[in-house]
Structure 1
């Protein structure tokens, strides 16, 4: 009788501990799923001779909003002034360095960027609170340091001159 009682005394705390571990694991998995960059292609041009890559100087238009309330915190479109930077060198938030890779000139994307790939717990500029998930509507206007190879029509026309 004493062994059955001892077994029950041990199995209850063990079951409780295993339940807590399982619950913690599930919560961690769900939290990590939410912390991933989401990339949605809104428009892709029919022709894409070159795609953006690390060290490319990109000219972009963007509008940034807070996921929490949809308020715009910045927009190159509203300023009518493209934003120029070099991709992959940490000049922009990590979500941009990752989310703008392999983009075609003229392509439009929607990036949903969790705070760990944006401004984290510190926020930014008084407009972006700590822990904020950001949404960017972006358009690649040009890759300034690389040009597309000439098409066959352009090559033939050049040969005629």
Structure 2
């Protein structure tokens, strides 16, 4: 069975709009490179600079950096962010736009993140533009 994932509008650097399929969220991590960059390969331990949009599967946007007009930076691949990001973004190239569908066990777990309106059962979908590494 083929996993159906949301479609993302726009191109690298533009705030995406996600369109969700009628199917249920996949049970495991799904990572799709929507547009391939040609920069450096992201390695564990790099400080990663990204723009992103985060939305619950079939639900609302809970965070995005495009509206703030500023990217964020964080260490990748060493447990500083949710596991789905650590696993899904290491090995990708700077300049890539990546779609991540992250099941709860690789996101915020059973507790969710109530302050962001994320339940422990929510699958998280991110579109991440990899801006650079340090």
Counterparts of 1:35 and 1:98, CA distance in 2: 15
Higher RCO (C-alpha under 8 Å, 6+ residues apart): 2
- Give 1:140 deviation, angstroms: 0.4
Shift of the 60–91 alpha-carbon distance from structure 1 to 2, 3 Å rule, reads same
Give the alignment partner of residue 37 of structure 1, picking from 26, 29, 32.
29
Structure 2 CA distance for aligned equivalents of residues 140 and 117 of structure 1:
20
Question: Which 4+ residue blocks in structure 1 deviate beyond 6 angstroms?
Answer: none
Partners of 1:133 and 1:100 in 2: CA distance: 17
Could you say which structure has the larger radius of gyration? 1
Q: For residues 127 and 87 of structure 1, what CA distance do their matches in structure 2 show? A: 24
Greater strand proportion:
2
| Structure 1 residues 93 and 123: CA distance shift in structure 2, 3 A | same
CA distance in 1, matches of 2:100, 2:71: 18
Q: Mark the CA change 1:126 to 1:107 in structure 2 (over 3 Å): closer, same or farther.
A: closer
The match for 1:114 is 103
Write out per-residue CA displacement over residues 44-71 of structure 1, whole angstroms, 9 at most, x where no aligned residue: 13x34x20010001000000001032x1
Tell me the TM-score normalised to structure 2 length: 0.76
How many correspondences in the alignment?
108
Question: Hey, what's the Cα distance between the residues in 2 that align with 1:127 and 1:83?
Answer: 21
The C-alpha deviation readout for 1:25-44, integer Å capped at 9, x for no partner, is xxxxxxxxx43110011101
Gaps of 5+ in 2: 1-25
Alpha-carbon distance between aligned partners in 1 of 2:63 and 2:112, rounded to the nearest angstrom: 14
Q: Is the 8 A contact 1:57 1:84 kept in 2?
A: yes
Q: Deviation string for 1:84-108 (max 9, x for gaps)?
A: 0011121110000000011111100
Report the secondary structure of 1:77's partner residue: coil
